[in-house]
Structure 1
Amino acid sequence: MFSGGKDSLAALIRLHEAPGWSVERLVTTFNQTDRRIALHGTPLALLRRQADAVGLPLTAIGLPEASDNPTYRTRIAEALEPLRASGLAHVAFGDIHLADIREFREAQMTELGMTPLFPLWQADTTELARELISGGLQARICCVDLQVLSADLLGRLWDFELLAQLPEGVDPCGENGEFHTLVVDAPVMQHPLKVVAGDTHVSHDRFCMLDFRPA
């Protein structure tokens, strides 16, 4: 599943580097009301441009703004069943440490007759961050949890300087939801994603998102 953030691209990079694997398609979910990617706030139109830069087709699954688990499961199943029938057997996720999320995904994929993959599972997030940044992945902060981080970080490049400035206890990959990113360049992208930053908005009185748009 693809969000356009660093974890999604990191999982894609790992699969590209692993012998015997061929990634055929990207799959994402978006809010049908504002047509943005949940938690990240990235416009679906921008994610489509990112998928084009990667060189893969994108399946976009619309969800109601107040989507519950049964609705989520149904929409995912409706979208993935044709892919399974066409011969695609695996779905990769960018989760690193959250066991409950992994268990949920494993149960859902088992119901659909597909096998989940977790290329980043149990990775050391400090080492992973250094590996990705050193390897040429460029990501910008698109969302922060205001209970943990300042909105001043929005728009900044996720680089070694930013990592050094993160408060103690904040995961360098934002694995606990402290921040989310939009990848604008990576080894698996054929060209950089050109974006401009717009306004910010706050969701649920807690998560501040920067409105990136295609340049």
Structure 2
Amino acid sequence: MRTILSWSGGKDAAYALDEMRRDEDVRVEGLLTTIGAETGRSSMHGVRRELYERQAAAVGLPIEFVELPADPTNEAYERAMAVAIENHANRGIERIAFADLLLDDIRAYREEQLSDTDLDGYWPLWGRDTAALAADFANRFEATVVSVDGDLFDRSFAGRAFDAEFLAGLPDDVDPCGENGEFHTFVRDGPIFDEPVDVTTGETVTRPVGDGEFHYCELLVPNEPEP
């Protein structure tokens, strides 16, 4: 099946790509990522376009960016995604894969948005135990925690490695994979990479998100000044 992967650059997406590359019935042909048109960053991860491009090169896949306006409405997001999906269908892509694990409402929303398109949805990680997946990921990949919910974490968690120590220190009500949006990651290395994505951590800043706030750690290419 000719497949594209909805790509966040984080652990679940990387794990999904690893799983699909092990499946001889799946051919992943590219990555699809949303970023802000003005900021050039993903909204929840805060990761810059350049770093996504480095990731894509390291895993050997083309990446396409769907640019969203500042503070996009659901309607604006859906319009932009509909155009991207139609373009991929016209190229012969058969389905789009998502790395969602367990949230029924999110999956139902994605299925509804695909219902009038020529692409099917595919969930290679659906129903996995999040604690087991997180532990296996930490053993086989390297990732940095790039953003955390300020209601659940203090600033010191942003910029930490996603590893056994990080998992051991999670609050009891936080999912080990951050499946409820508690934290987000950027994957630097692992079995899907031809070479590591070399980044260092920079300044941590706090920004409002909805009714709360998130702490974001800037990722830098070594010897690069703060953007």
TM range, smaller chain: over 0.9
Aligned residue in 2 for 1:44: 49
1: CA distance, partners of 2:127 / 2:70: 31
Q: Is the 1:15–1:21 contact (alpha carbons within 8 Å) kept by the matching residues of 2?
A: yes
**1:148-180 residue CA offsets vs partner (Å, 9 max, x unmatched):** 012101111111111111111211111111111
- The corresponding residue for 2:18 is 13
Distance in 1, matches of 2:54 and 2:180, equals: 27
Alignment correspondent of 2:187? 183
Q: In structure 2, the residue corresponding to 1:29 is in which secondary structure?
A: strand
Match of 1:72 in 2: 77
- Give the count of matched residue pairs: 214
Determine helix, strand or coil for the equivalent of 1:53: helix
CA distance in 1, matches of 2:118, 2:74: 19
Which residue of structure 2 aligns with residue 104 of structure 1?
109
The alpha carbon displacement at 1:199 in A equals 1.6
Q: Indicate the residue corresponding to 1:208 in structure 2.
A: 215
Gaps of 5+ in 2: 1-5, 223-227
Root mean square deviation of aligned Cα:
1.1
Structure 1 stretches of 4+ moved >4 Å: none
State the TM-score, normalizing by the size of structure 1: 0.96
- Tell me which residue corresponds to 1:56: 61
**In structure 2, how many angstroms separate the alpha carbons of the residues matched to 1:185 and 1:36?**
21
Percent identity over the alignment is 37
SS in 1 for 2:116: helix
Spell out the pairing of 1:57-206 with structure 2 (5 A cutoff). 57-134=62-139, 136-204=140-208, 205-206=212-213
Q: How many angstroms does 1:213 deviate by?
A: 2.1
Give distance in 1, aligned partners of 2:16 and 2:214.
25
Conservation of the 8 A alpha-carbon contact between 1:200 and 1:209: yes
SS at match of 1:200: strand
Structure 1 residue ranges without an equivalent (≥5): none
The structural deviation recorded for 1:42 is 0.4
TM-score by length of 2: 0.91
